[in-house]
Structure 1
């Protein structure tokens, strides 16, 4: 999550919609930590869950409906944390009410809806952010700067493998909504969105790609009920492509991994190498995103500590998996109108205004990847 920090004499008053697993694990804990925000109102379709969050985080009011929350005069920012199929209508209500809005990725389940929300937000003049994890995490900004400063020389190849225990053939009821393909909530759309954005923010975006998006779990069983459901959603992504200046790209993202899940990134250049590892893609085990590097020829990889200047959040006891995905930065207008239409021709984030987020553009890229098997979200 990338948080909006504006210059206010008083904290931004926040209304939260949705208090599911990740909202409780991450967003609410960090919003409660940061003095720039005041948790003002919470809503969930499960009243008891909203009341529990209200008690735990000292949130003043529990709203009876989404409309009550977004139309409240004491809310500056609406944070949308319900499930992806609910995002479009929730964000639309917030924008229509004239509220600034943060929405967790994916913004919507279709590119057409994302484009429509972008037009609506521009027309209403509201600020809007799509929450993509780890783009501005300390390790990722440090890797970006190492590459930019020539630590590895010219890029020759980039390889990333991401695996997680989620999205197996057996799923909990809380994840039942990820089964229907139309919900745009697969390994490719969710994890691909977050981790490809993280990677390309440091290496630059590819100029060409080819992809495989297989489905190895065509039937999913809900653990609590025993009900089995057919699905065609992809549970793996194998991507090959080219970056600028003839650098080779390979990515493998897989769900349903039983053991040894995590993230491994290898970056090879003409003058050196970088390796980034994490033993759990979204968990709390071990050190988070450890960087090793070597400059020169046949040198051993040595650990590179992330300099203190890359850390921005206050000291806390929150686990690294929470802190690495939630980073403050100043609010900017969402500007990707032309980029959506030409995301295949111009993948470079540097050609857009500084600080913009890329919800619809990333959705466009996900559609390009999934179109390899006819799985677009239009």
Structure 2
């Protein structure tokens, strides 16, 4: 019997669709991209013609309603994620929403409850934990490479969300749109870290707006920017281990990603010069058995089982997430990141913001 393929409809024709989702899905066995939708029908049709996709719609509702679609992928701007995900669930479709699931914890909780009640598969685009390097790092932790965990340090530095931004993305300057440093890079890399070492028990945080005005590059217009572009978080994990995190946006010189995991028996380090659009996967190094310097720990082939097809590592992370969803669909497992993971990240961000607000309230008091 021929295996049934998963028919996918994608809502949104921005750069992430072109760079990531469409080429990824067309490279994977078991998926067919059958429809695209967006606000600009001409642009949608252009994408459909370029990638050989049969159906093109100028609104999302037509795509969601089509009976020949099994999985709806929501890649529209963040303020639309919640509404479109809820509509797909109501239509009985499986849904993959780009992170964040919505612009608020309460809305994301409602969407999760709706998906659970409807019984559909739900996937959140926290794909970075699925990279071969991150999965190997988790394997090394499970194999007790570092011994008893003592401390975890992560820094993420990017040029995005800084003093100059393109006019095309000025909508992200509205704090209510939930598309700034803490939700985007924080959400993705907190998921990487805490899916590897365990979720925080206690935390304290400071968030700071270091660029209160942003210049739109094309016009020179000055726009107020109230979202934090520097974030520090520290706290406790299970046992006696501590963690610290620094997120920094608007860097003139990008520092990328660095994670250090120290324990009683060894140390692990994972680095990448870029935090997004990575040409190659993260580098893992370790020290153990009295070593004085780091040695590279190449990722074994079994963790990189998908063909690269010339795609960047950041796109391949998405491929591994779709692969996990397909296995879940076939076997009833729950490997793919879900709306439950999205709600967990929303609640973590709420804790960080509340801690920062309490810090400034206490320290600004007379």
Asked if TM exceeds 0.5, the reply is yes
Tell me how far apart the structure 2 counterparts of residues 89 and 354 of structure 1 sit (CA, whole Å).
25
Q: Tell me the residue number matched to 1:148.
A: 142
1:22-101 counterparts in 2 under 5 A? 22-101=16-95
Q: More helix per residue: 1 or 2?
A: 2
Q: Is the 8 A contact 2:44 2:58 kept in 1?
A: no
Partner of 1:253: 247
Task: Give the number of aligned pairs.
Answer: 350
Aligned partners of 1:51, 1:73: CA distance in 2, in Å? 20
Q: How does the TM-score come out when normalised to structure 2?
A: 0.91
Counting only pairs closer than 5 Å after superposition, residues 212-223 of structure 1 correspond to structure 2 as 212-223=206-217
Alpha-carbon offset, residue 373 of structure 1: 3.9
Deviations 1:133-172 (A, max 9, x none): 2112111111111111111111111111111111111101
Aligned CA-pair RMSD: 2.0
1:52-103 Cα shifts (integer Å, max 9, x gaps): 2112211101013211100001000000001111111111111111111000
Superposed, 1:123-202 pairs within 5 Å as: 123-202=117-196
Contact 1:134/1:326, CA 8 A, preserved across alignment: no
Deviates most, 206-215 or 168-177: 168-177
Query: Is the CA contact (8 Å cut-off) linking 2:24 and 2:318 kept in structure 1?
Result: no
Q: Which runs of 5+ in 1 are unaligned?
A: 1-6, 334-351
Aligned to 1:365: 348
Does the residue aligned with 1:28 lie in a helix, a strand or coil?
helix
- TM (normalized to structure 1)? 0.88
Q: Give the stretch that moved more between structures: 183-192 or 226-235.
A: 226-235
CA contact (8 A) 1:42 1:61 kept: yes
Deviation at 1:31, TM superposition (A): 0.9
State which of 272, 276, 280 in structure 1 corresponds to 2:270.
Answer: 276
Question: Are 1:15 and 2:5 an aligned pair?
Answer: no
Q: Which residue of 2 aligns with 1:349?
A: none
Write the distance in 1 (CA, Å) between the matches of 2:2 and 2:252.
47
SS in 2 for 1:68: helix
What SS does the corresponding residue of 1:213 show, helix, strand or coil?
strand
**CA–CA distance in 1 between the matches of 2:319 and 2:335?**
19
Match of 2:115 in 1: 121
Q: Is the 8 A contact 1:213 1:372 kept in 2?
A: no
SS at match of 1:246: coil
